[in-house]
A and B are shown apart, each in its own frame.
Chain A
C-alpha cells in the first residue's frame, strides 16, 4: 500500500467534488419537501409519489425502456458480428475501411449522426416513432459493443475454434458452442453499455423521435424549459441510480471475467 499524503487526498477530493457535487445536490433536493427547488424545507419523498402519478413521465419512461432494451439487443448482435469479422476474418478487401467505419461513429458528433438519420428517415418516408429511435440508437451503440467484444476476441486462443472444427463442428457450430460461451461476459458487458448509452441519449433521440413517442431525456429537457420542478429532480435521481447500476455491473462482469481468465492462465503456467 502507498502511504497516505495530503497531496493525494486533496487531488482526490477536488476531483470527486468537481465530478459529483452537482449530482449530489440534485439527489438531495429530490428529497426536498418544498415546492421551490432552491429552498430546503425538510426531508420528504413526496415528489417520488407525485412522479408515479404523472402519466406523461411514466409513458416516456416506458418508451425509453423499450428503446433501450431493443436497441441494445440488436446492437449487441450486430456489434458482435462486426467484431468477429474484424478479428477473425483475416485479410479481406476493404478490411481497413470497414474497421475505420465501425469506429468512426464513436468520435462523430451526435448532432451530425442525429441530423443525418433524420434526413434518411424523412427521405425514405419512415414515420418517426419508437422504431426510428431504436434504429438510431442501434447505429451508434453497436460501435461500442464491437469495441468491447473485439478486444476480448483478440485475446481469444484461436486454437479453441480449430479444436472445435477438428472435433466435427461446422464453423457455425464452433461459434455457438465454443466461441460465444467463452466471450459471453464481454458480450454481456457490451449489451449493458449499449443499454446505458441508449437510456441517457438526448441529442440523437430528439432528432429521431416523433410526436407518438418521446423518451425520458427529451421529456425532462422540455419540462425543464418551463422551470425545474422537484418531480424532475426525483426522476433524475432514479435515472442516475439506474445508470450507475448498469455501469457498475458492466464493469464488474468484465472485471470478473478478466480476473478469472488471469487466474486460469496463472494456474496453467504454475502446473
Chain B
C-alpha cells in the first residue's frame, strides 16, 4: 500500500502554518488561555472543541487579530503576528452570527473584501462569480441578506470569507444557527469546499459530532488548555483522560485499581469480591495505582446467557431501555449499584425485543474494547 494519508503532524520536516508558542491570554483576573503551545499545518481542517468558556473562541479571535496574547507568540507561516492588525492578516473569519452587511446585496457582500485589495474591477467580478458558483448562490446575487434563508446566509458568509483566498479560514460555530438536517448537509459541503480550495480551516465548535465529521484533527479544550489533540477516531477510541472520553460521545467509566498482567495488560479491580476487568493498554502504571476503564456503550454486548470465552463479563439487571430507532440503549445495574449503558443496533425491522425491564442479562466486552486511563 503506497496510499498517502494526510498527516503532516507526523512528518517532522513539515513546517506548521500556525504556531502557538506558550500563549497565555488573561482578561483581568480570568485566564482564558493558559500557556498553550500548538502547531496547525497547511491544508488541515482543525477543530477546537470544548464547552463554552473553555477558551476556544479566544484562540480563534487571537488568530484573527481581534485579541492580543498577554504573553507568548503566535506565528503564521513563520511570521510573528503580534501587532499585525486584522486587516493586514492573510486570515479571514466566518462569524457565528455571519455578520453579513445588511445594507449590501449578496454580491456586494462577497466583493467587499476584494474591493479593499485594489483589485481591478474585472478581476473582482470574476472572483465574486467564482465564489457564487462555489457556494451555489448565483441566483441570489442581487438579494439583500434579509431576503434569503439562514442556510443561504451561511453560504454567503462562507463565500465572503473565502473570496480573498486567505491562507487560513476561521469558522466560529459556523453551523450553530442551522437545523440538524441542514447542518449535516452543510458539514459535507464545508469539507468539499475545503478540499477544493486547499485552504487551512480552523473551526470552533461545541458540537462534538460536527468536529468529528469535518476535522482532520480535533483539539479538545478545557479551561484554557488543550487536553488532547488527535484525529477524530483516535479521540474517540483512545481518549487520554476521563474528560475527553466523557466529552466525546457516550461512555461508561469505572474506577478501580490497576495491576499489571503480562506484557501489556492490566487487571482493574473495581469492587470487592468481583472479578477484575481485563484490558490491554500501553500505559505504564504501577500496581495498586488508581485507574479508570472507559468503555463505549456500543462495544458492550448484551446476552441472556453468560457468553463463552468472553474476557470481561458481568451479570446485571435492566433498569431502563431507550429505543432510538436505529439503536437501543440498555441501562443495566451491576452489583454495587453502578449502572452500565450498553447499546445494540436494531438491524432487523420490527424484531421482537429480546430483553425487557427487570430482566437479568449478561454484559460482555473484549480485551481491547475498554481504554485504561490514568486520570
Contact = CB atoms under 8 A, between A and B. Distances in A.
B372 interface: no
Contacts of B153: 268, 271
A46 interface: no
Q: List 6 A-B pairs, minimum CB-CB distance, nearest first.
A: A168-B116, A167-B113, A163-B99, A264-B146, A271-B150, A159-B99
Contacts of B117: 168
A169 B116 contact: yes
A268 B178 CA distance: 11
B147 to A, nearest CB: 8
A267 B149 CA distance: 8
Contacts of B140: none
B93 interface: yes
Interface of B: 64-66, 85-87, 91-93, 95-97, 99, 101-103, 112-113, 116-117, 145-146, 148-151, 153, 160-161, 164
16 contacts: A159-B97, A159-B99, A160-B99, A163-B95, A163-B99, A163-B101, A164-B101, A166-B91, A167-B87, A168-B116, A169-B116, A181-B103, A182-B101, A264-B146, A271-B151, A271-B153
A50 interface: no
A267 B103 CA distance: 16
Nearest to A159: B99
A178 interface: yes
A88 to B, nearest CB: 14
B150 A166 contact: no
Given A167-B113, A168-B113, A181-B103, 18 more contacts: A159-B95, A160-B99, A160-B101, A162-B86, A162-B95, A163-B99, A164-B112, A165-B66, A166-B64, A166-B65, A166-B161, A167-B161, A167-B164, A173-B116, A182-B101, A264-B145, A268-B153, A271-B149
Interface string A130-170: 00000000000000000000000000010110111111111
Interface of A: 157, 159-160, 162-170, 173, 177-178, 181-182, 263-264, 267-268, 271
Contacts of B112: 164, 167, 177
A243 to B, nearest CB: 30
B102 A165 contact: no
B117 to A, nearest CB: 6
Contact of A165 (B87, B96, B101): B87
A160 B161 CA distance: 13
B87 A169 contact: yes
Contacts of A264: 102, 145-146
A162 B101 contact: no
Contacts of A268: 146, 150, 153
Max chain A C-beta neighbours (<10 A), residue from B92, B99, B112: B99
A157 B146 CA distance: 15
Nearest to B172: A159
Nearest to A266: B146
